[in-house]
């Protein structure tokens, strides 16, 4: 095949790939665009105007209505969601890092079997665990408390799996041996040497955990009955069930949905340098 033919095929392939990526970008971003547009409209314009075109700009009035409705319950839901997601992701990341590091750097009987069990846990859907968790927490009196949502959120088999892969790739055994020869204990070795080397991986695990907890819906629905303990996802779901008798809730639900996705976008943008390098290290491994 001649060189010009190869170049034409290469350009055609790049063009096709670019067109496909643009199409996928439109597909994924169109719902977000619709949410932004709908959040700026007054209630009466939601059905009376084109869903993809702006009309009267009432975003600030909609936000005021959202945060003052029902004595400001949405603000409580937002605070609960931040508590569940940030604290749960931080503790879950630390547990995943400790477990993954131990599986990667220590040799003990049953290690591979234990890792196989953890991999099996990755395949179990979270919805299948909701009922057993409810029965367990009900027996211990923790249903309808913050712990009923927080404790299951800090366990992540997938996070342990990623942490082991990254610990194998990023933490040289020689550095650990040097730290031990200098008299450092295992925990000090982990936090002073391994933890720093695993930082990009841990940010990636944190983001996975953060997004999963932030979008968690089924577990809080099973565990919680008090409205004051709801996360945003469950709170908006409850409002959505009331729109038949309170149609004005529709605008607050849409505005609340926009508010709920903004923190996830901000976290991804702020931490993109770390999680992109972490994913690259994982792909090389």
pLDDT tens string, the chain, 285 residues long: the values are: 555 555 565 777 788 888 999 999 999 889 889 999 999 998 888 878 887 788 888 899 999 999 999 889 999 999 999 999 999 999 999 999 999 999 988 888 888 899 999 888 888 888 888 889 999 999 999 999 999 999 999 999 999 998 998 888 888 888 888 888 888 888 888 888 888 888 888 888 999 899 999 999 999 999 999 999 999 999 999 999 888 888 888 999 999 999 999 999 888 888 777 765 555 554 444
pLDDT at 7: 55
> pTM score, two decimals?
0.85
pLDDT at 284: 42
Distance CA 88, CA 146 (A): 11
- DSSP character for 184? -
Q: Which tokens sit at 45?
A: 């314009």
Cβ–Cβ under 8 Å, residues 218 and 127: yes
Nearest CA to 135 among 158, 153, 117, 152? 152
pLDDT at 3: 53
Write out the H or E segment, with its range, that includes residue 34: helix 3-39
**CA 49, chain centre distance (Å):** 34
pLDDT at 276: 58
pLDDT at 122: 86
pLDDT at 244: 83
CB count in 10 Å sphere of residue 152: 20
List of residues 6+ apart from 257 with CB closer than 8 A: 35, 39, 236
**CA 70, chain centre distance (Å):** 28
List of residues 6+ apart from 74 with CB closer than 8 A: 66, 67, 232, 235, 252, 256, 259
Distance CA 203, CA 158 (A): 14
Distance CA 121, CA 82 (A): 26
- DSSP character for 260? H
pLDDT at 97: 93
Half-sphere exposure of 251 (CA within 13 A, CB side): 21
């Amino acid at each position: 095949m001649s060189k010009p033919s190869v170049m034409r095929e290469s350009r055609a392939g790049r063009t096709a790939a670019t067109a496909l990526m643009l199409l996928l970008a439109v597909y994924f971003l169109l719902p977000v665009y619709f949410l932004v547009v709908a959040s700026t409209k007054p209630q009466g314009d939601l059905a009376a105007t084109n869903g993809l075109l702006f009309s009267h700009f009432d975003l600030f009035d909609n936000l005021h209505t959202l945060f003052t409705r029902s004595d400001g319950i949405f603000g409580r839901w937002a605070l609960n969601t931040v508590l569940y997601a940030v604290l749960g992701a931080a503790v879950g990341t630390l547990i995943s890092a400790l477990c993954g590091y131990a599986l990667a750097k220590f040799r003990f009987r049953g290690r591979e079997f234990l890792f196989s069990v953890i991999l099996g846990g990755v395949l179990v859907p979270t919805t299948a665990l909701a009922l057993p968790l409810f029965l367990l927490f009900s027996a211990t009196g923790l249903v309808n408390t913050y712990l009923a949502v927080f404790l299951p959120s800090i366990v992540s088999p997938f996070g342990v799996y990623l942490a082991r892969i990254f610990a194998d790739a990023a933490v040289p055994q020689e550095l650990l041996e040097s730290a031990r020869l200098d008299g450092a204990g295992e925990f000090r070795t982990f936090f002073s040497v391994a933890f720093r080397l695993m930082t990009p991986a841990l940010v990636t695990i944190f983001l996975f955990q953060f997004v999963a907890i932030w979008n968690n819906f089924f577990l809080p629905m099973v565990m919680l009955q008090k409205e004051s303990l709801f996360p945003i996802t469950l709170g908006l779901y409850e409002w959505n069930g009331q729109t038949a008798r309170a149609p004005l809730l529709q605008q607050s639900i849409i505005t609340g949905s926009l508010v709920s996705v903004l923190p996830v976008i901000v976290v991804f943008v702020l931490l993109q340098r770390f999680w992109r390098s972490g994913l690259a290290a994982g792909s090389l491994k």
